[in-house]
Structure 1
């Protein structure tokens, strides 16, 4: 990805960078992700399931300055690579703000180790997530080391942007009422064709839609998305497929426990969003769509 050096960045959309205190949800990446996703879908505090201890939210409270405050223009990425997360966030929210009625800017909260959220206490073991209770995207930046290390993705800027765009896809589902419908449906939330997996695949598709439009605005902080960038994003989507993760972590694939979809389906829906550029193309809930 290439950046517009003259673009103005809004660092107020990204905060955090602290470490939470107290207890953590002490689970491995695979199990932790399953538990957190089920909890979020059902509107349950993860600690009601896990019995986790209270964790302090570091936030960006009094006396703490945001590590992203200096990110005010696209050229700042050249001197501080963390500024790219501000660029992704600004671009994603600019797009959805122009297409989603009543869209309101939300926060990306970065953290290290553990954090308290509106959805309960969470540790970095669960990976990036969106909490509908406080409409915030939570991100431990160390996840990207896990993505390229333990999960075997190639990485790159577009891979990082895909992860964030996926989480913002969940915010759009919240605004559209899709998440509430899934929560209240009483349907199975795990398995290849479950409502939970369809929700995740739709978020992948929404991420692809954003990639399609990321450079439309001449003032966008992102000036170019190449075919190589799309390949990096697709590689990341494959790396976080349930089948790939299960094969790596437990040596076997158990589709009935899937929460996010297979590597192939995650790539399929990311591609669908990118090629169409139309959120209406992201109907993963249609019969036979998953």
Structure 2
């Protein structure tokens, strides 16, 4: 999506954090060492070819600074970190109007890697939401990894879809959805898959209403998405489908799925895009998921 150049995206509260001292091994390519190891455990297949080189990580958090250089929509159009920071303002504005007593999560832009209470955050582990901290972690270079591994360039809307998906997990946290539907293992109908598809749907609902979210001066943060931008977001959803990822090894095992198939991820993003977030009840759907 394209930001209106005169939109005020300052004061997002987003912070930047890099690695501290105490190096540990961590994957820096493809799906990330952790994700690949889990896939091998669940499927028995060899995913080692998807790993890039190993790089350094950190057991200690580095300095954390607030992102203050992102002031306008023009900045958000020019820089990925500003796009994420500006996107968080639109997403927070949307959810504040939809969910009573909404509280904003913290957004941390990761520079390299950083430890969290939910594990190491880096471009290898990919963006994630950490419930105990109510924090979204995202390394912008993850989008380069996505392109390198799957050949899909993650354009502006695809990047914001990923961000909005993680904010969808925050909605699940603060509204009690995670408590009502705790993890029950893997598989195509597991609570884990249903929660991921619901977050996709929540992201689609935000995209549908994004152009109506305005800054303090009444200027919309974003322009309405184009068809090409929506197609780009759908391609990103498909690229991170469990079946698409597993197909890289030549073996697809639905019983090990944690996020849903490419078709499911596209379907539920579209469900939110065409309706409202209240239509995103993936937990009441049977095997038509």
> Do the two structures share a fold, i.e. TM-score over 0.5?
yes
Class of the TM-score when normalised by the shorter of the 2 chains = 0.7 to 0.9
Alignment correspondent of 1:58: 62
1:279 is aligned to: 277
1:10 aligns with 2:6: no
Q: For residues 133 and 195 of structure 1, do their structure 2 counterparts lie closer, same or farther at Cα, with a shift above 3 Å needed?
A: same
Task: Give the match's secondary structure for 1:224.
Answer: coil
2-structure distance, mates of 1:192, 1:269:
14
| Distance verdict in 2 for CA 1:24–1:167, change over 3 Å | farther
Q: Distance in 1 between matches of 2:9 and 2:221?
A: 7
Matched, 1:101 2:97: no
Q: How many Å separate the matches in 2 of 1:59 and 1:96?
A: 30
Structure 1 position 30, deviation (Å): 6.2
Instruction: Say yes or no: does 1:209 pair with 2:205.
Output: yes
In the TM superposition, residue 234 of structure 1 has moved relative to its aligned partner by 0.3
Is 2:96 the counterpart of 1:127?
no
How far residue 224 of structure 1 moved from its aligned partner, in angstroms, is: 2.3
Q: How far apart are 1:6 and its partner, in Å?
A: 1.9
RMSD: 2.4
Distance 1:78 1:140, change over 3 A: closer
User: Number of matched residues?
Assistant: 265
Moved over 6 A (4+): 34-37
Q: Distance in 2 between matches of 1:10 and 1:289?
A: 43
Normalised to the residue count of structure 2, the TM-score between the two structures is 0.84
Deviation at 1:119, TM superposition (A): 2.2
Q: Cα gap change, 1:224/1:18 in structure 2, threshold over 3 Å: closer, same or farther?
A: same
Could you report, residue by residue, the CA deviation over 1:180-225 in whole angstroms, capped at 9, with x for unpaired residues?
Answer: 2232xxx632111111100100000000000000001343321221
CA shift, 1:5, in A, is 1.7
- Residue pairs, 1:1-290, within 5 angstroms: 1-24=1-24, 26=26, 29=31, 32-33=34-35, 55-60=59-64, 65-66=65-66, 68-77=67-76, 80-183=79-182, 188-218=184-214, 219-248=219-248, 250-276=249-275, 278-286=276-284, 287-290=286-289
1:79-130 deviation per Cα after TM superposition (whole angstroms, max 9, x unaligned): 5453211221111111001111111122211113321213244443221000
Checking the alignment, whether the CA contact within 8 Å between 1:29 and 1:125 is kept in structure 2 is: yes
